[in-house]
Structure 1
Amino acid sequence: MLNIKAGVNQTVEGAMRLMGILILSILLFVSCQKQNREEALQQFIEQHVAKIKPLEKAAKEAYWEAATTGRQEAYKKSAELELKIRKIYSNPQEFAFLKDLKTSKKIKDPLLKRQLQILYNRYLQNQIDSTLLRQMVELSSKIEEKFSTFRPTLNGKKVTNNEILEILKNETDNARRKAAWEASKQVGRVVADDIIKLVKLRNQAAQKLGFENYHTMSLELSEQRVKQIDRIMWDVAEYTLEPFYNSKRALDQLLAQKYHISVQQLRPWHYHDPFFQETPQVFQVNLDKYYENNDVKEIAVKFFAGIELPVESILAKSDLYERDGKNPHAFCEDFDREGDVRILCNLKNNESWMETLLHELGHAVYDKYNDPSVPYLLREPAHIFTTEGVAMLFGRLSRNPFWMQQVLNLSDEVRQQIEPDLNRYMRLKQLIFARWALVMYNFEKALYKNPDRNLNKLWWKMVQQYQLVTPPENRDEPDWASKIHFAIAPCYYHNYMLGELFASQLHMYITHHIYKTKNWQKVTYVNDPRVGQYLKEKVFKPGKTYPWNQMIEKATGSKLKVDYFASQFLE
């Protein structure tokens, strides 16, 4: 007689064996698929880097030549190479491949997943019509060439940006100050129409990709959410409102007294800087006199050597001094992510250029001391603003009385004499810059939201709202367009403010955890290799391996917030 129970057991066991084989097969298939996807992505990345790396270096070389010589053919070559790069990122088949991988969520390897995200964002922003892409690149290059080669006319004579700044800093005649300020705005008339046209082209591109406008797209694809940045900038506005109001009132009284006018007569040309983004020299101490007989370059070389972040190889390839045709500003460029890092400056032996040199070298050491084992696509700063933060961390030192004492060999007596004014100066500088950054952020948001509105009027409305500066009477000029960032660094300026927040967060961490003190004013880093080592290990070497807030939390124990900046400069 058939053993029914045994037969049932055998049937169940057979079914279970078959089920086990099936599950194992599925798991092996899924594993194979995952492995194939990750292998395919790795192969894609290797081929992509092989294409993009030499083009990126060639484009930077062409841009460097353009910026250092002003040659039109160099600007043309730079634009052509940028277009080639962007065409690679505009490839629809490659974007579809990356999009499929991203939506599949099958890439589990952390480094591959991170590179996929970076590539996806870069490809997405370039999925636009090739004709439109060419128009944007060529128009942007044309505007930058105009900025670099334009020299304003003052009293019938061509003048440099440095000469205008000198007049605004030192001239006491109100009419001459006004004329110099107006000269600083002349470039606005030259580029305004082109900038508006470029804004519309950028918006057209962004809207084809499903974004409200180019401003929104820029933030989202740089891993920032609009609401997140709005909230941070709102906090900055709230934290700084009352301190700025009180400081500005005191500042206006000093300026009115200096120029023999009433406070009500103060206008933009009385604030020592074309945009009132820098601090007027109203305190007794003249910072420039401490630097004029010193070589700011040599000071910087010794300082960075003392924190074991040597910069000689950077400076050897850099372009440091003013001449005709050269870009009048300053910037840092990493040419290959393998150590070829250079800066452009127009150095003078004064405090402003001491700050700028320290700032640009801050960018440079971030790039120079990366980790070569990190994949090429991740071997760059965690975010634009994190490199700004490091640059600002060092740039602030030029007016720190304790740093000045150490690098300039000042006596205790001299340091104590200048310390109160410098402390007031540093606080005022941060307040002034924060309010200026609010102008830039909010104006640019409005610019991309509606470029056809009366931008000249809107500009002065925001200047008055955030900076408490009285606009010139009956002036209808595109003064906003004289700010180069709208053309060549769009939707970027808020990152300077985030950089200031990050600089304060880094400084407070170094103060509390490396120096183990609460006296942040006296921490200058001079001849302390621990500072360089900390920055290399915690900030530079991770590169873009982590999203910016994750890197900041790993480096400082906290995500980015306004509190450290407030405790340093506002309390």
Structure 2
Amino acid sequence: MYDTIVGSMTIPITIDGKTEELSVGQANNLSTHGNPEIRKEVFDRLEEAWSEKEELFAKTLNHLAGFRLHVYEKRGWDDFLKEPLEYNRMQKSTLQAMWNAISKHKKPFVDYLNKKAHLLGKDKLDWYDLNAPLSNDDETLSFQEGAQFILKHFHSFSPKMAQFAEKAFEEAWIEAEDRPGKRPGGFCTSFPLSGQSRIFMTYNGSMSNVATLAHELGHAFHSYTLQSMHPLNRNYAMNVAETASTFAESIVSDASVNEAKTAEQRKSLLEAKLQRSVAMFMNIHARFLFESRFYEERKQGIVPASRLNELMVEAQREAYAGAINEVHPRFWASKLHFYITDVPFYNFPYTFGYLFSLSIYAKAREEGASYEEKYMALLRDTAIMPVEELVMKHLGEDITEESFWEKGIQLCIKDVEAFIELAN
């Protein structure tokens, strides 16, 4: 239902006096446009488009949640987090420890957002400024150049991962053309019989797009490492599914910062890394808060679109700790993740995978290419044990403790400090 609605939507955008009808995916790519007026227009046109269809989206979301809640009632479950936690093979204490650690360390990321607002000449950022570029000095790479950049830096961590990515490029497993009619976002899907994967995204040459491409290749590599396992032992949960992808993305993001040609580029690329941290610690947190409160209210009956807008605004204000002026009330309508039928709460696993992968990445940086076999052994175990056991076995850490999550957060805070120093 969601894909049908979004696939039929067109967004009229006027640039340099010329109006074009764009797909939602193409319009979303303009959120990084250097002209604030264009970013504002894109945001407003998209918000209008979501508003026009909000009753359809609200009905879809209510039916999906209502079905789940009825199933839970029949099973005697009173906690709507029971299914997503079981699906992700994790304890509730692990989830609480992660969000508690993040909630305690929001201030540095608020400082970053305020510094960015200052650099853009504003008192506070609006939603459409979150991905705004800080300079026109940003490097763009053709698809081939982006591919070479990824292969070069994958090789320094794992020759096998680089060889696998090269095969994906050579055999055209990636559909990345920037054209009308494509839905937003990116994904990877695997075919176990052929041992192949396919990647979907809209590539426009930014370093952010290169990182997204690396992210999806990480997913494909994860599936590749599991080919030696019995088919029943290949079905890994979503929280660890985001581990290999985020690990691959971290390699490319760090490399882009280290290879920056100017201080301005370095600042801009550091800021791109921080956008990712903000997405994980604030945007994903807002999604989790919204969905938790929506499910609570859905128990009493249908939640109208107007109330969904209110719940989203409340969640965004809380998750961003008041750092955003104009927020995105219909984000619940715009985000595919709320409509995925087989995976409830398609949000917190991203943050889990992000922080978990940072711990793995820190180990990989210490040990270099020799870490490859340990990394692949960890990936093979992702489908056969709860995450608490997985992390204890491979990292020797207790993830039900906030201290584990704080280590990863501190790495991101160092990026904030480096960015603010450069900005000053």
1:359-390 superposed Cα distances (whole Å, 9 cap, x missing partner): 00001101012252x32111243x31222122
Q: Which residue of 2 aligns with 1:192?
A: 58
Q: What is the CA RMSD across the aligned residues, in angstroms?
A: 2.9
Q: Which residue of 2 aligns with 1:263?
A: 123
1:43-78 superposed Cα distances (whole Å, 9 cap, x missing partner): xxxxxxxxxxxxxxxxxxxxxxxxxxxxxxxxxxxx
Q: Which residue of 1 aligns with 2:141?
A: 291
After superposition, the Cα gap between the structure-2 partners of 1:311 and 1:268, relative to the gap in structure 1 and judged at 3 Å, is: closer
Q: Which residue of 2 aligns with 1:158?
A: 21
After superposition, the Cα gap between the structure-2 partners of 1:203 and 1:349, relative to the gap in structure 1 and judged at 3 Å, is: same
- Say if 1:385 and 1:496, in contact at 8 Å, map to a contact too: yes
For the residues of structure 2 that align with 1:340 and 1:450, how far apart are their CA atoms? 42
- Say if 1:152 and 1:184, in contact at 8 Å, map to a contact too: yes
1:502 to 356, 374, 378: 356
**1:218 aligns to 2:84 (yes or no):** yes
For the residues of structure 2 that align with 1:531 and 1:343, how far apart are their CA atoms? 26
Shift of 1:420: 5.1
Letter in 2 for 1:376: P
- Say if 1:459 and 1:480, in contact at 8 Å, map to a contact too: yes
**1:281 aligns to 2:133 (yes or no):** yes
Letter in 2 for 1:357: L
Alignment of 1:104-503 (within 5 A): 142-154=1-13, 157-172=20-35, 174=37, 176-185=38-47, 186-187=49-50, 189=54, 190-212=56-78, 214-239=80-105, 241-255=106-120, 257=121, 262-263=122-123, 266-272=125-131, 280-282=132-134, 284=135, 286-287=137-138, 289-292=139-142, 295-304=145-154, 307-309=159-161, 310-315=164-169, 316=171, 317-336=173-192, 339-372=195-228, 374-381=229-236, 383-401=237-255, 405=259, 414=261, 418-419=265-266, 422-423=269-270, 425-427=272-274, 429-451=276-298, 452-453=302-303, 454-467=307-320, 468=322, 469-471=324-326, 478-488=330-340, 489-503=343-357
Range 498-507 or range 213-222, more displaced: 213-222
For the residues of structure 1 that align with 2:181 and 2:113, how far apart are their CA atoms? 37
For the residues of structure 1 that align with 2:319 and 2:382, how far apart are their CA atoms? 35
For the residues of structure 2 that align with 1:486 and 1:568, how far apart are their CA atoms? 29
Q: Secondary structure at the match of 1:308?
A: helix
Letter in 1 for 2:385: Y
For the residues of structure 2 that align with 1:398 and 1:305, how far apart are their CA atoms? 11
- Say if 2:195 and 2:227, in contact at 8 Å, map to a contact too: no
After superposition, the Cα gap between the structure-2 partners of 1:543 and 1:464, relative to the gap in structure 1 and judged at 3 Å, is: closer
Shift of 1:231: 2.7
After superposition, the Cα gap between the structure-2 partners of 1:285 and 1:385, relative to the gap in structure 1 and judged at 3 Å, is: farther
Range 449-458 or range 213-222, more displaced: 213-222
The TM-score, its normalising length taken from structure 1, stands at 0.61
For the residues of structure 2 that align with 1:358 and 1:197, how far apart are their CA atoms? 35
After superposition, the Cα gap between the structure-2 partners of 1:352 and 1:148, relative to the gap in structure 1 and judged at 3 Å, is: farther
- Say if 1:205 and 1:214, in contact at 8 Å, map to a contact too: no
- Say if 2:309 and 2:330, in contact at 8 Å, map to a contact too: yes
**1:534 aligns to 2:387 (yes or no):** no
- Say if 1:152 and 1:159, in contact at 8 Å, map to a contact too: yes
Shift of 1:418: 4.1
**Paired residues, what number?**
386
After superposition, the Cα gap between the structure-2 partners of 1:167 and 1:250, relative to the gap in structure 1 and judged at 3 Å, is: same
After superposition, the Cα gap between the structure-2 partners of 1:151 and 1:208, relative to the gap in structure 1 and judged at 3 Å, is: farther
Q: Which residue of 1 aligns with 2:411?
A: 568
- Say if 1:367 and 1:380, in contact at 8 Å, map to a contact too: no
The TM-score, its normalising length taken from structure 2, stands at 0.80
For the residues of structure 1 that align with 2:272 and 2:196, how far apart are their CA atoms? 36
Show structure 1 runs of 5+ residues with no match. 1-141, 273-279, 516-527
1:548 to 387, 390, 394: 387
Shift of 1:511: 2.8
For the residues of structure 2 that align with 1:531 and 1:337, how far apart are their CA atoms? 28
Q: Secondary structure at the match of 2:160?
A: coil
1:374-424 superposed Cα distances (whole Å, 9 cap, x missing partner): 32111243x31222122111112333256763xxxx7xxx26674455445
- Say if 1:232 and 1:562, in contact at 8 Å, map to a contact too: yes
1:444-467 superposed Cα distances (whole Å, 9 cap, x missing partner): 111111134522111111211221
Letter in 1 for 2:394: A
- Say if 1:237 and 1:438, in contact at 8 Å, map to a contact too: no
1:261-297 superposed Cα distances (whole Å, 9 cap, x missing partner): x526x5323333xxxxxxx322x4743x252585213
Q: Secondary structure at the match of 1:481?
A: helix
- Say if 2:9 and 2:23, in contact at 8 Å, map to a contact too: no
For the residues of structure 2 that align with 1:557 and 1:236, how far apart are their CA atoms? 21
For the residues of structure 2 that align with 1:237 and 1:507, how far apart are their CA atoms? 23
After superposition, the Cα gap between the structure-2 partners of 1:449 and 1:324, relative to the gap in structure 1 and judged at 3 Å, is: same
After superposition, the Cα gap between the structure-2 partners of 1:301 and 1:248, relative to the gap in structure 1 and judged at 3 Å, is: closer
Show structure 2 runs of 5+ residues with no match. 415-424
1:273-332 superposed Cα distances (whole Å, 9 cap, x missing partner): xxxxxxx322x4743x25258521333345445622222443423423244444432111
Alignment of 1:37-76 (within 5 A): none
After superposition, the Cα gap between the structure-2 partners of 1:232 and 1:199, relative to the gap in structure 1 and judged at 3 Å, is: same
After superposition, the Cα gap between the structure-2 partners of 1:543 and 1:502, relative to the gap in structure 1 and judged at 3 Å, is: closer
More RCO (CA 8 Å, sep 6+): 2
Q: Secondary structure at the match of 2:195?
A: coil
- Say if 1:485 and 1:493, in contact at 8 Å, map to a contact too: yes
Shift of 1:146: 2.3
Shift of 1:534: 2.9
For the residues of structure 1 that align with 2:189 and 2:83, how far apart are their CA atoms? 24
After superposition, the Cα gap between the structure-2 partners of 1:507 and 1:415, relative to the gap in structure 1 and judged at 3 Å, is: farther
For the residues of structure 2 that align with 1:254 and 1:212, how far apart are their CA atoms? 48
